[in-house]
Amino acid sequence: MKKYLNKQLFFETLYKLSIIFASLLLLLIIIFIFFEGVPALKEYGVFKMLFNMSWQPTAHEPSFGLSKMILATIISTLLSLLIAIPIGLLSSVCLVRLVSRKIKNIIMFIVEILAGIPSVIVGFFVLKTIVAFLYQHFYMNIGVSGNSMLAAVFVLALMALPTIITITVKALEAVNPMYTEASLGLGANKIQTIYKVELKAAKSGIMAAIVLGAGRVIGETMAVMLVSGNAINISSNLLLPTRTLTANIATEMSYASGLHQSALYASGIVLFIMIMLINITLLIILNKGGGDNA
């Protein structure tokens, strides 16, 4: 009996230590980026950093305005979701209700592989196809190099799609079959049932899918950096280059020193806060939807 208790205690401690280790790691990362980023925020000013348009980190009188990059991050995320959400939702509905189980399994397998492809490879693919296509067709316009907001949006949509599909499929599968049967029994046809009953019942799961997709998109770095052109620029012309917060860090980190380096960590802090906001939204959605089926 004593031996059993000892064993029990040992494994309980092991589990507790693991969870402490995992949360400590997150805490360490947070402390680290704040420790590195705060000098620039202090020296240059939080307000100026968030709203100034000019990023001149190596000038004599340097300026570290992140506003264009914050905007670029938000716009590229929204536009890519605008592509990924309809495609993701329609294909999820199709997978769950309109095709046979066998085909669904094959396609889900493919989607999961797509989710696992390293982002740098997706970026390289888009660089060689879409960026090259855009340059070939629009090179007569001044400033067009193919590397552009549009290409970045394509990459991000491609990255968000698998996340959105897998989670939406799970949400749709979790819909109580009684709802479906009742709807069909009342004389509604298949499509009516899907749109009027099932999608509504799975609403919170679908919202979670979208928010998780957004989280993936905001944090994406390598692929975006390859195709976006990285000029600090925000324009209504989607064929012109742009730079997101993540790309800003990755592009300039290698040779940055002093306050410039600190300002890059500060971009990390801004990004961190944006992702926190997304996660909080996710928590609220999931709590609200807790009583439903998803």
For residue 275, the minimal CB distance to other proteins (Å) is 24
Does 19 bind other proteins (CB under 8 A)? Our answer is no
Site string for other proteins, 234-253 (x = CB under 8 A): ------xx-x------xxx-
Cβ closer to other proteins: 4 or 255? 255
* Residue 233, C-beta contacts closer than 8 angstroms, at least 6 positions apart: 68, 240, 241, 242, 243
Q: Which stretch binds other proteins (CB under 8 A): 27-35, 132-140, 214-222, 265-273?
A: 132-140
Residue 81 has which token pair?
Answer: 């979701």
- Give phi and psi for 55, each to the nearest 5: -115, 100
Does 230 bind other proteins (CB under 8 A)? Our answer is yes
Q: Which stretch binds other proteins (CB under 8 A): 6-14, 84-92, 139-147, 182-190?
A: 139-147
What element of type H or E holds 282?
helix 258-288
Residue 243 sits at the vertex; the CA angle it makes with 238 and 247, to the nearest 5 degrees, is 135
Contacting residue, 73, 80, 147, 163, with other proteins by CB under 8 A? 147
Does 61 bind other proteins (CB under 8 A)? Our answer is yes
For residue 80, the minimal CB distance to other proteins (Å) is 21
**Count of residues touching other proteins (by CB under 8 A):** 37
Contacting residue, 19, 142, 178, 291, with other proteins by CB under 8 A? 142
CA distance 32 to 27: 8
For residues 221 and 19, the answer to whether their CB atoms sit within 8 Å is: no
CA distance 68 to 267: 12
Contacting residue, 1, 19, 140, 178, with other proteins by CB under 8 A? 140
3-state SS of 201-265 is: HCHHHHHHHHHHHHHHHHHCCHHHHHHCECCCCCCCCCCCCECCHHHHHHHHHHHCCHHHHHHHH
For residues 179 and 197, the answer to whether their CB atoms sit within 8 Å is: yes
Residue 288 has which token pair?
Answer: 């609200």
Residue 74 sits at the vertex; the CA angle it makes with 230 and 145, to the nearest 5 degrees, is 30
Cβ closer to other proteins: 60 or 102? 60
Cβ closer to other proteins: 128 or 288? 128
For residue 69, the minimal CB distance to other proteins (Å) is 11
Cβ closer to other proteins: 146 or 215? 146
Strands (E), the chain: 55-56, 63-64
Does 132 bind other proteins (CB under 8 A)? Our answer is yes
CA distance 162 to 152: 17
For residue 49, the minimal CB distance to other proteins (Å) is 16
Cβ closer to other proteins: 114 or 256? 256
Residue 289 has which token pair?
Answer: 């939807």
For residue 7, the minimal CB distance to other proteins (Å) is 31
Does 146 bind other proteins (CB under 8 A)? Our answer is yes
Per CB under 8 A, residues contacting other proteins are 54-61, 63, 132, 135, 139-147, 229-233, 240-241, 243, 250-252, 254-258, 260
